[in-house]
Amino acid sequence: MITIKRVYKPVNEADGKRVLVDRLWPRGISKEKAKIDEWMKDIAPSNELRKWFNHDPEKFEEFSQKYKEELKEPEKKKELDKLIEMSDGNTVTLVYSAKDEEHNQAVVLKHYLEE
């Protein structure tokens, strides 16, 4: 099972493996407090796409399409396979730092993995 959660929300056992899917480490949170099991920054959107999107909800649909295209790149496939393997019979929580809980890369990545 794959879930998503903002890094600033309290950690609990139901999170299972916590995988940070941001390219940059979240501001203001220590590694100890974040309790991240794995940081997959290579699976995050490219710097160019991340900067272009700038968490603008009006760009979310186009961002989703562009990010899904990036996820087809060979170097990202290894990370995707690893996530799928981790989630086989286990809970994996995709952790992100964006304030907007509906319009972010973790939402897109979760849907992509479920397809």
% of the chain surpassing 90 pLDDT:
95
Helix spans in 1-115 (H): 31-34, 47-53, 60-70, 74-87, 105-114
Token output for 63: 């961002």
Summarize the confidence of residues 64-85 as an average pLDDT: 94
pLDDT at 115: 86
Q: pLDDT tens across 22-34, in order?
A: 999 999 999 999 9
Beta carbons of 93 and 18 less than 8 angstroms apart: yes
Q: Residue 69: is its pLDDT beyond 90? A: yes
Question: Mean pLDDT, the chain, as a whole number?
Answer: 95
Residue 48: C-alpha distances to residues 14, 63, 69 (Å): 34, 11, 14
Length of the chain counted residue by residue: 115
Beta carbons of 37 and 18 less than 8 angstroms apart: yes
pLDDT at 71: 96
